[in-house]
Copies of this chain bind each other. A is one copy, B any other.
Amino acid sequence: MAAPGPLSLNTVTVRDAWNLAQCIEGCARHGIPGISPWRDRLAEMGLAAAARRIREAGLRVTGLCRGGMFPAADAAGRRAAIEDNRRAIAEAQALGAECLVVLGGGLPPGSKDLPGARAMFRDGLAAVLPEARAAGVTLALEPLHPMTCADRSVLSTLAQALDLCDEMGEGLGVAVDAYHVWWDPDLARQVARAGRRIAAFHACDWLVPTTDLVFDRGMPGDGVIDLPGLRAMVEASGYRGAVEVEILSRRWWAEDPETVLRIVKQRHATAC
């Protein structure tokens, strides 16, 4: 099997210990060629300063986390989400990010109307797509695991994301995160269908047992996902981008970030 594409660090992996400046320095120090920052830490550092430091460090920005989250309880909430996505698109453009990662968002509080929330997601996406196209920013729709459907992501499967790509066309892509899609009986078919629309590939692992629905993701190699198999599938579809390691985990957040980066680098070479 061919070696994995270049490593990128999603900064949430060390979010409790390091701010964005520290993540940039850490990537440079460990020889990790890519980074994927989160917008809260970007705002804290300042967009211009972050863009400059990332450029100086010679890092590629494999994604900006995150846009989307369009469903809301009322029209004002939906407008606010659209405005926030416009800012996210401008930030992604300023960073030269390879994509803006777009999440579904959950059901509005008190709602049981899942098809309605999915329609809100679609409508929000349609509203911001012209700006994304004008900015040259790919919106990478990232389906999250169905266990997040109620409170984080009404975008649940690759098929659903690709249906939106088919409908709206240019400017949209998908982010394939192993953790969120590995279980899907339709995975091989949907990855093949995605083809060149795969804008990002995220790696972490599913632990057995998993003790938390959000913050118990595993280091690549520590769980049951056939990561090399999924990467081969994604590459057979034409993906030539980075392998972005993104681990939301209380266990890894409690470690020294230097250790985390060292292990991430090692696992990128041996377990992805």
CA distance A209 to B107 in the complex (A): 12
A151:B183 contact, CB within 8 angstroms: no
Residues B151 and A208 in contact, CB atoms below 8 Å apart:
yes
Closest to A210 in B: B213
- Interface assignment of A252: CB less than 8 Å from any CB of chain B: no
Check if A185 sits within 8 Å of B160, measured CB to CB: yes
Q: Are B145 and A159 in contact (CB under 8 A)?
A: no
Q: What mask results when residues 114 to 128 of chain A are scored 1 for a CB within 8 Å of chain B, else 0? A: 100010000000000
B-contacting residues, A214-263, CB 8 Å: 223-226, 229
- Digit string of A91-120 for contact with B (CB within 8 Å is 1, else 0)? 000000000000000010001111000100
In the assembly, how many copies of this chain are there?
Answer: 2
List, in ascending order, chain B residues with CB within 8 A of A184's CB.
146, 156-157
Is A183 a contact partner of B213 (Cβ separation < 8 A)? no
CB contacts (< 8 Å) of A210 on chain B: these are 147, 150, 213
A201 at the binding interface (Cβ < 8 Å): no
Cβ-closest chain B residue relative to A229 = B112
- Residue-wise, chain A 47-90 has the 8 Å CB interface mask toward B (1 for contact) of 00000000000000000000000000000000000000000000
- B146 adjacent to A112 (CB under 8 Å): no
Q: Which A residues are within 8 Å of any B CB, using their own CB?
A: 107, 111-114, 118, 145-147, 149-151, 156-157, 159-160, 182-186, 206, 208-210, 213, 223-226, 229
